[in-house]
Structure 1
Amino acid sequence: MADIYKALADETRRVLLDELLNRDDQTLFEICGRLAMNYGMSMSRQAVSQHLDVLEHAGLVHTERSGRYKLHSIDTAPLAQIAARWPTRRAQQ
């Protein structure tokens, strides 16, 4: 679970997750373009790829090959583990 917290600690990775939540199955090229257009973030492909690797290692992003393309998609299941670990207390009446 520590990997999830490390992955979420960085603002850039949270933006990447937001972008993948808006549209799944994106290539690295598409992600870089959308980050530049939607968020004004101009990062190298290598930097974005490294952030995606951290997210993938944490289980928050899954990849699959489609021909010569590598498609990235979000997996929110690990986030449910966080919510299950610390359930909210109900207000006392």
Structure 2
Amino acid sequence: RVLFRSENVKIKAQVETMEDELKQVKKRNKQLCVILAQGEMKDKAQVLLQVDELTVVKDELTEQVASLTAELEKEKSKNHALKAELDKLKASKHGK
């Protein structure tokens, strides 16, 4: 019986040690989870910021394209009018 009690005391001590180690591991895992979550939130925040910045750039470029398209149409109209005027002048010159 003394042998069993001695062995039982050793086993209980080992179990307590292992439980303490398990608590420490769980605590470290929890801390790591918090750190990872914070990192993911920072990544998400950075991605959202970049999306906002890119949306602003896209809107600016869309406005520029619209403006340049309008200018191009004006120039095409001018060019067409000048060509018509030139053709008219050539026709009247050949008519003389």
Q: Which has the larger radius of gyration?
A: 2
More strand by share: 1
- TM-score, normalised on structure 2? 0.20
Structure ranking higher on relative contact order (CA contacts 8 Å, 6+ apart): 1
More helix by share: 2
- TM-score, normalised on structure 1? 0.20
